[in-house]
Structure 1
């Protein structure tokens, strides 16, 4: 099926496509999102310096009392 284009104010606004093409585009979108997540994970792995901070240490740095926060 040849895509049909919807024109609004002399500009393409939308397109009507067959279901096979729509499903293919959805798969491409899913793969693109997966690649972004994998890239983010790899960057984090490659730049990790091994520093870890406990909740208590971070709260102390921020001047927060965890016991007060837990009571709320």
Structure 2
């Protein structure tokens, strides 16, 4: 699922979020070449990509792998 920032014309989105299943995480790591951030060029525009690593706010959330509650 790809979620883009909502904007009104002529503005452009500044960010997007890509949500993948747990079994696809290895593919994302390979795509980013195991780096924390990586720069791409899409349609002539520079785009930075990184893997989101959730910071846990409570001990009950430790060990969960879900992106959204």
TM-score range, shorter chain: under 0.3
Comparing both chains, which one has the higher relative contact order based on Cα–Cα distances under 8 Å and sequence gaps of 6 or more? 2
User: How high is the TM-score relative to the length of structure 1?
Assistant: 0.23
Whichever structure has more helix as a proportion of its residues is 1
Which is higher, the Rg of structure 1 or of structure 2? 1
Whichever structure has more strand as a proportion of its residues is 2
User: How high is the TM-score relative to the length of structure 2?
Assistant: 0.23
